[in-house]
């Protein structure tokens, strides 16, 4: 920092005046020496001219002293101004240096934060990987209790680890895709058989292991369903992600009230062999849900009260060979639901009370060879339901109790009567080829509406 070193004003002026007087005195002495030290004549009287000359000399001396003082003051002022400018420049340099130091400090802090964040993320990823490895190891245990712990650990990790959530879900779905044979009897029956000596100890252990495995699998399904019931904004919601149940065996499970609103959900080739699998009151509003090639061979699969309002839900090529599949009171209002190429060979498939009011529902190329497919009380008020290419060789397809405003579309058949097992409203007249005669369409629709009104009045009474 520059320093200003100045004497006090009085000291400076006195010194300057003294120096000036010494200089003047020195000049006078030099002049007298040069003149040979002339003598001075002293007059007896002081004239006015002499007095005036003395006054001029005094004034000159005073003026000289004042000039010297003014020069001293001006010099000091100039020094002070220069020092002030130097201080301002120095302050500016200090401020600039402080700014640079602040920027460097900020950069160092950001670098430290980034390093800390990177280290934290690395530690977090390492921790997640360790949890993932531990949960995966538990899922592979031979003990059912350990596998259950692994299921909960993997689901908890999926909630905590957003970036790895899909991976955790894939592992849980893969567990359901593992080979599985449902237990063939209830615990009480197994105990009875053991008491009667009809089952060996090995068989009893096998049945017990199967029941324990069923509990583990049902827990996986229950946890998936629980997360699919959460609203989309919930940080632990699993909506919109992919679920791959391809080839899985289901002997029970609860997917009720879930929402499939995005992503892809695959039940392709799945087997519903026993128990009760519930999809009731679920919503299929986007993405793709596929049951292609699935087998419904026993138990109950319930879609009752569900809403199909967008995307594609496919049951193409599926086999309905036993048990009961309920779509009762569902709403088909958009997108496409396809049963094309499916086989209805047993059991019951019920669409009773459902509403078809938009989108497309296709049974094209399906085979009705057994069992019962019913649309009692269903309402066809939007797009056509397509049965083109379907074959009827047994069982029943009942449309006779449906409220049909837009008739379904059938393929070609010979003669005027529908094939055996296909029950249509009695009021309709059918032309050759399976198409409703146009001249009877308005009358048929009027009768259907009258019947619907009568049913509502009866219910009211």
Q: What is residue 293's DSSP assignment?
A: T
| pLDDT at res. 39 | 65
* 252: Cβ contacts below 8 Å, ≥ 6 apart: 214, 218, 221, 274, 275, 276, 277, 299
The runs of H, that is alpha helices, within 41-161 are 48-139, 144-160
* Ramachandran angles phi, psi of 388, nearest 5°: -60, 135
Q: Residue 279 above 90 pLDDT?
A: yes
More confident site: 81 or 280: 280
Q: Residue 38 above 60 pLDDT?
A: yes
**What's the whole-number mean pLDDT along residues 314-330?**
92
Query: Residues 368-392: pLDDT tens digits?
Result: 998 899 999 998 876 678 888 888 8
Query: Residues 177-231: pLDDT tens digits?
Result: 999 998 875 544 445 545 455 546 768 888 889 999 999 999 999 999 999 999 9
**3 state SS of 409:** strand
Q: What is residue 461's DSSP assignment?
A: -
User: Across all residues in the chain, what is the average pLDDT?
Assistant: 81
**What's the whole-number mean pLDDT along residues 359-366?**
87
For the chain, what's the residue count? 461
Query: End-to-end CA distance of the chain, in Å?
Result: 105
Token couple for 260: 């499939």
- Cβ atoms of 355 and 328 within 8 Å: the answer is no
Query: Residues 231-269: pLDDT tens digits?
Result: 988 999 999 899 999 999 999 999 999 998 878 899 999
**Separation of CA 36 from chain center:** 114
Q: Which band of pLDDT confidence, cut at 50, 70 and 90, is reported for residue 118? A: confident
Q: Residue 176 above 70 pLDDT?
A: yes
- Alpha carbon dihedral 114, 120, 125, 130, in 10-degree steps, equals 160
The 3-state secondary structure of 262-328 reads CCEEECCCCEECCCEEECCCCEECCCEEECCCCEECCCEEECCCCEECCCEEECCCCEEEEEEEECC
**What's the whole-number mean pLDDT along residues 159-170?**
93
Q: Residue 153 above 90 pLDDT?
A: yes
Nearest-angstrom CA–CA distance, 246 and 57: 125
């Amino acid at each position: 920092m520059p320093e200003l070193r100045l004497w006090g004003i009085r000291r400076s002026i006195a010194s300057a005046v003294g120096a000036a007087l010494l200089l003047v005195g020195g000049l006078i002495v030099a002049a007298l020496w040069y003149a040979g030290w002339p003598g001075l004549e002293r007059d007896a009287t002081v004239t006015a001219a002499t007095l005036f000359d003395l006054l001029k000399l005094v004034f000159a001396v005073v003026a000289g002293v004042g000039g010297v003082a003014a020069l001293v003051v001006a010099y000091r002022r100039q020094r002070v101004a220069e020092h002030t400018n130097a201080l301002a420049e120095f302050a500016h340099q200090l401020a600039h240096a402080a700014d640079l130091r602040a920027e460097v400090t900020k950069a160092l802090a950001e670098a430290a934060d980034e390093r800390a964040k990177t280290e934290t993320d690395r530690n977090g990823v390492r921790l997640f990987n360790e949890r993932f490895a531990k949960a995966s190891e538990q899922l592979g245990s031979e003990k059912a209790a350990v596998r259950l712990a692994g299921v909960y650990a993997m689901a908890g990790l999926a909630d905590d680890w957003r970036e790895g959530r899909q991976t955790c879900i894939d592992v849980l779905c893969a567990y359901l895709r593992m080979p599985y044979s449902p237990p063939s009897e209830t615990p009480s029956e197994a105990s009875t058989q053991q008491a009667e000596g009809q089952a060996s100890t090995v068989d009893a252990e096998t049945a017990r292991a199967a029941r324990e495995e069923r509990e583990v699998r049902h827990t996986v399904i229950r946890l998936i369903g629980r997360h699919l019931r959460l609203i989309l904004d919930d940080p632990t919601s699993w909506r919109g992600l992919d679920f791959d149940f391809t080839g899985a065996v289901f002997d029970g499970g609860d997917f009720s009230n879930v929402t499939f609103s995005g992503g892809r959900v695959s039940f392709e080739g799945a087997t519903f062999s026993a128990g009760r699998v519930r999809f009731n009151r679920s919503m299929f509003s986007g993405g793709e849900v596929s049951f292609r090639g699935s087998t419904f061979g026993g138990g109950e699969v319930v879609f009752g009260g569900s809403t199909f309002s967008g995307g594609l839900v496919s049951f193409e090529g599926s086999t309905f060979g036993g048990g009961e599949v309920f779509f009762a009171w569902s709403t088909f209002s958009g997108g496409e639901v396809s049963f094309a190429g499916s086989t209805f060979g047993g059991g019951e498939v019920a669409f009773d009370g459902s509403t078809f009011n938009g989108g497309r529902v296709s049974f094209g190329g399906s085979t009705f060879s057994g069992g019962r497919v019913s649309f009692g009380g269903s309402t066809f008020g939007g797009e056509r339901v397509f049965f083109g290419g379907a074959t009827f060789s047994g069982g029943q397809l009942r449309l006779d109790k449906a409220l049909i405003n837009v008739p379904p579309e059938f393929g070609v058949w010979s003669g005027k009567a529908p094939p055996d097992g296909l029950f249509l409203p009695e009021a309709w007249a059918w032309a050759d080829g399976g198409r409703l005669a146009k001249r009877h369409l308005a009358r048929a629709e009027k009768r259907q509406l009258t019947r619907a009104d009568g049913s509502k009045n009866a219910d009211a009474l």
